[in-house]
């Protein structure tokens, strides 16, 4: 057995501790799906009684996507989805739907950058909608997961280069 001088042993112990801490941090990030835990989505409009600009997280469960902000949450089963869009604005197609908006989305958009994720779904015999404001870098990983879990395509307006 090799014997280390006292100060070298201390260095080795510190190195082992640092590696252990780094490994735990990586495992925690992987377990969290690599997503941030700080609010990155904002409620920009919809038929639900949520405060405008309520910041929260979008969670992808096995049967439903759930938007949580403050003490509010909206669970949308994948089976109830009828339309999903990610665009720089809320489309005319969605605006023409006869929805009872509790919070009206801001008209227009004025940008080429996609930032509104719109979900239209059926609930209790009626049509509902949720519009979330989210930046493209945050939304990209969600797009594939939403399509995979729901079996439906998200219509994405193609202005940006995804290099």
pLDDT tens by residue, 2-42: 555 555 556 666 656 555 565 544 544 444 554 557 889 99
Tell me what pLDDT residue 111 has: 72
Beta strands in 54-158 (DSSP E): 55-60, 64-69, 72-77, 81-87, 116-123, 126-133, 155-156
pLDDT over threshold 60, residue 112 = yes
Edge-first strand order for the sheet with 64-69 is: 72-77, 64-69, 55-60, 41-46, 126-133, 116-123, 81-87, 155-156
Per-residue pLDDT tens over the stretch 101-111: 999 987 766 67
Nearest CA to 137 among 27, 6, 36? 36
Burial of 30 (0-12, 13-18, 19+ CB in 10 A): exposed
Nearest CA to 88 among 102, 103, 105, 75? 105
Q: Rounded CA gap, 24 and 13, in Å?
A: 17
Nearest CA to 134 among 74, 53, 50, 32? 53
Q: What's the average model confidence in pLDDT over 118-146?
A: 94
**Under 8 Å between Cβ of 39 and 56:** yes
pLDDT over threshold 60, residue 54 = yes
pTM here?
0.73
pLDDT over threshold 60, residue 61 = yes
67 beta partners? 58, 74
């Amino acid at each position: 057995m090799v014997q280390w001088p006292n100060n070298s042993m201390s260095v080795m112990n510190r190195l082992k501790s640092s590696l252990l801490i780094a490994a735990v941090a990586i495992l925690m990030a992987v377990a969290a799906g690599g997503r941030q835990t700080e609010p990155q989505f904002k409620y920009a409009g919809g038929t639900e009684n949520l405060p405008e600009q309520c910041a929260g997280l979008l969670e992808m469960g096995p049967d439903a996507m759930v938007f949580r902000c403050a003490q509010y949450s909206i669970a949308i089963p994948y089976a109830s989805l009828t339309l999903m869009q990610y665009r720089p604005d809320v489309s005319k197609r969605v605006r023409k739907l006869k929805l009872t908006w509790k919070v009206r989305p801001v008209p227009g958009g004025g940008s080429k950058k996609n930032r509104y994720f719109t979900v239209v779904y059926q609930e209790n015999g009626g049509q509902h909608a949720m519009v979330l404001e989210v930046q493209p870098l945050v939304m990209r990983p969600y797009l594939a997961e939403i399509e995979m879990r729901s079996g439906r395509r998200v219509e994405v307006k193609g202005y940006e280069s995804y290099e």
